[in-house]
Copies of this chain bind each other. A is one copy, B any other.
Amino acid sequence: MSGGATTIIISQFIFNIALLLIAARIAGDITSKYLKQPAVLGELIAGVIIGPYALGSFLNSPLILNFGEVAFEQVAQAIPGAHATVVHFTLIDVISMLAVIILLFYAGVETDVKKFIKYGPSAGLVAIGGVVFSFAFGYFLTQWMYPQGGQVAALFMGAVLTATSVGITVRVLMDIGKLDTPEGVTILGAAVIDDVIGIIILALVLSIAAGGGEGGIELAGLVKLGATAFIFWFAIVAIGIKFGGLISKYVLGMFDDLYAKAIIALLIGFIIAYVSTFVELHPVIGAYAAGLMFSATADKEVITKHLHGIYAFLVPLFFVSMGMQVDLFQLKDLPMVYGTLLVLLSFVSKIFGCAIFALPAGFNTRGAVRVGLGMMPRGEVGLIVAGMGLLEGAIDQPMYVAAVMVSLLSTLATPPLLKPFFEKGGSGLKSET
């Protein structure tokens, strides 16, 4: 017996998830197998095609190929007068957030903490170069060519251009067998540091978007916010590196079953993701730190291996749901010149910014350009930033479409550019030329 309206609605939602994930699988398979591009590109495009602005609009169903918005009444507990606020969000948001937390946790576990520390200083230079140029180009271009978005929107577009996708970078370098080169390791380290810097930038931009409307932004407050988040984040990672062995032994060691070990690690990731919101960090950033915590432990392989099924099941949903938010009809509202320049500058800013900072770090011109190219893809990180901006109402639909274009095109362009640059010529190190 189907048993009432609740069962029907939840069944519809589960049916919807099935449609999204099947579309993601098929599209991901086509792009990776036949177009030789990252599967994530296909997942995004699948979302655009079946989403509420395309196929979904023909269905006239709130849940199927649409978002399924729900209202949640939250009672403010501190106030005795039973003050209540109603928050609206979509059911897909819930699973989508779960998916991106799992993604970042997984990425954290896969990161080599020892390399992260060893190549920290030189990779840090590269990361800073990329961040400074990308942010400046994104910010000033938007201020100049899209002033109707306002100050906060320009900051957001700077943050979008700042993003670097660790996963895509690593995957491309592994595909061409160049992960172990000096350039490869530097790119990996810089991408990790870039991610952390990106978080701070996003934290700052979001706090401006949320509270900065009252005329002036307090620099002291921002510094404190950034410092608190930064210290908290590094404290988690430091605790992880210091006590990861103990956590592994006494917490995960409680369970004999390898799936149980991996799942408990992930659930600890969920908890840290939540606790991170107390210091204004986005939950995915906490999840990433939690992943790093376990990356140095003996359980690293156990965790990645036994979480792979959950990862493969849920993670594509994040990318489909990101794609679903793209309303291509909004492209007509996007000034063509601004959009084209933004995409071009997103290429130039990372290649140039990272490359000139890679030169003093010991690379020759060839090596520096390789590093710059490797830092180019914005991937899912750019989409996260853009998605946050849209969610917070800081950027409008046309700008979101432009940001998605930046993420897509910078990701798409990386493999065909990176491959010949790595295969032509010899060493990229100054000392070897």
Which of A's residues lie within 8 Å of B, judged by CB?
1-15, 17-19, 21-22, 25-26, 29, 33, 60-62, 68-75, 77, 85, 87-89, 91, 93-94, 97-98, 101, 195, 198-199, 202-207, 209-210, 229, 254-257, 259-260, 262-264, 266-268, 270-271, 273-277, 280-283, 285, 306-310, 312-313, 381, 384-385, 387-388, 391-392
* Alpha-carbon distance A283/B8, docked complex (angstroms): 9
Measured CB to CB, the closest approach of chain B to A57, in angstroms, equals 14
Q: A61 — which chain B residues lie within 8 A by C-beta?
A: 77
13 A-B pairs within 8 Å (CB atoms) are namely A1-B195, A1-B207, A1-B280, A5-B74, A6-B89, A7-B283, A9-B89, A11-B97, A25-B263, A70-B70, A71-B73, A260-B312, A263-B309
Count of chain copies: 2
The dominant DSSP class at the A interface is helix
* Alpha-carbon distance A101/B313, docked complex (angstroms): 15
* Alpha-carbon distance A307/B385, docked complex (angstroms): 32
* Alpha-carbon distance A209/B6, docked complex (angstroms): 15
Contact B18 A198 (CB under 8 A): no
* Alpha-carbon distance A148/B369, docked complex (angstroms): 75
Measured CB to CB, the closest approach of chain B to A262, in angstroms, equals 7
Measured CB to CB, the closest approach of chain B to A86, in angstroms, equals 9
Query: Given the known A-B contacts A312-B263, A384-B3, are A274 and B18 also in contact in the complex, defined by CB atoms under 8 Å?
Result: yes
Contact A270 B18 (CB under 8 A): yes
Q: Which of A93, A312, A387 has the most CB of B within 10 A?
A: A312
Contact A264 B22 (CB under 8 A): yes
Q: Which of A6, A209, A282 has the most CB of B within 10 A?
A: A6
State which of B6, B18, B275 has its C-beta within 8 Å of the C-beta of A267.
B18
Contact A10 B74 (CB under 8 A): no
State which of B74, B199, B204, B264 has its C-beta within 8 Å of the C-beta of A62.
B74
Contact B255 A97 (CB under 8 A): no
State which of B13, B33, B310 has its C-beta within 8 Å of the C-beta of A313.
B310
Contact A15 B72 (CB under 8 A): no
Q: A384 — which chain B residues lie within 8 A by C-beta?
A: 1, 3-4, 7
Measured CB to CB, the closest approach of chain B to A153, in angstroms, equals 15
* Alpha-carbon distance A26/B257, docked complex (angstroms): 12
